[in-house]
Amino acid sequence: MPNNPTGRALRLLSLLQTHRFWQCGELAARLEVTERTVRRDVDRLRALGYPIDSESGKYGGYRLETGAHVPPLIVDDDEAVAIAVGLRCAAEAAIDGMEETSLRALTKIESLLPHRLRRRVSALSSNVTPLRRTADDAVIDPEALALLAAACRDREHVRFDYRRGDGGDGRRSVEPHGLVTAGRRWYLAAWDRDRGDWRTFRLDRIRSVRPTGGHFDSRVIPGGGAAALVASSLGPEPNSRAATLIVHTTFAELEGALRWFDHTLIETTPALCRVRIRDADLGRLAMAVTRIALTGPVEVVEPPELADIVRSLATHLKQDA
């Protein structure tokens, strides 16, 4: 790769498309070239139309401009597999219309993958079985989800109709503070204006979301945030499963992957992180391990059955690579 200018430029573009600031020395180390070569490759990308900002000086470097129109994105092998796996998981989401949309996108992505990557994605699909929705898993209105997410962001009052657990209906006026996923369920953490207290609401029971136009000041959610509030309202999950992992990477590299999963960081050192992840379904735990493995080598400490699935999956991926 270092001696192939085209391949090296594509790898450089893949790094820049994270939109983080890269010091020139960091890029040179990643690409195993000199800083002078990095500067030449940046000039090549600029000539192709990629808007790249630069900062000079001892700690100077490069960043791809945010929000600018750029040519098609470039992804590496691991990123392509991660996109395909993510779309397959999204097809199982309890959001109305998401299954069809995700499968259409997945079909397009898989048709563009080279044979070796299609085999890797196929190995993941054939060896991990998601837990299908049961009859009581009502789907979520995507428009309501979008409106509530915007209201959380903009700190805007909303009203909606809500079906309680006992089947009764009511109307709520709330200050929405955060959305939380728990397995296949989505929840809204909000300050209930009529009751003067915090409440959590299942999104599949929410209908007719209406922003009222009024705004509110953000409140401190008790217990440590929206996720903690929802966890407290749900109580312990009798069928929840936990897995302990050792990930051989820094926490800075791992942090972005962990935000997608219910997790507890047990230990972190400069060389590894010990973490516990939780889900009600063993198949989704295996999917979580594959996502986390993109950040560094993973050891499954427990449970043994998850370790067996991951070893089997690794064997198939090695054969199909």
User: pLDDT per residue over 35-78, tens digit each?
Assistant: 999 999 998 888 877 888 888 877 788 988 765 555 565 667 77
pLDDT tier, 300 (very low <50, low <70, confident <90, very high otherwise):
very high
The pLDDT > 70 percentage for the chain reads: 83
Q: What is the pLDDT of residues 198-239, one digit of tens each?
A: 999 999 899 999 999 889 999 998 877 888 888 888 765 555
d(CA 59, CA 24): 8
Of the pLDDT bands very low, low, confident and very high (cuts 50, 70, 90), residue 281 is confident
* Residue 181: per-residue pLDDT: 81
The predicted-structure confidence for 249-275, as pLDDT tens digits, reads as follows: 998 888 888 877 888 888 888 889 999
In 3D space, the residue among 57, 51, 60 whose CA is nearest the CA of residue 19 turns out to be: 51
**Residue 156, pLDDT above cutoff 90:** yes
Which CATH code, of 1.10.3720.10, 1.10.10.60, 1.10.10.10, 3.50.50.60, is assigned to 5-64?
A: 1.10.10.10
Q: Give residue 7's identity as a one-letter amino acid code.
A: G
Instruction: Note the pLDDT of residue 144.
Output: 87
Q: How far apart are CA 146 and CA 90, in angstroms?
A: 16
How much is the pLDDT for 196? Answer: 93
Give me the residue spans of the domains in the chain: 5-64, 77-127, 142-234, 241-320
Domain 142-234 falls in which CATH fold? SH3 type barrels. (2.30.30)
Q: What does the pLDDT look like over 72-129, one tens digit per residue?
A: 656 677 777 777 777 776 666 667 666 667 777 777 777 777 777 777 777 666 665 5
CATH class of 241-320: alpha beta
Average pLDDT taken over every residue of the chain: 81
- Kindly give the interhelix angle for 304-320 and 115-127, rounded to the nearest 10 degrees: 160
- Mention every residue, 6+ apart, whose C-beta is less than 8 A from residue 244: 266, 274, 275, 276, 300, 301, 302
Encode pLDDT of 11-42 as tens digits.
Answer: 888 888 776 788 988 898 888 899 999 999 99
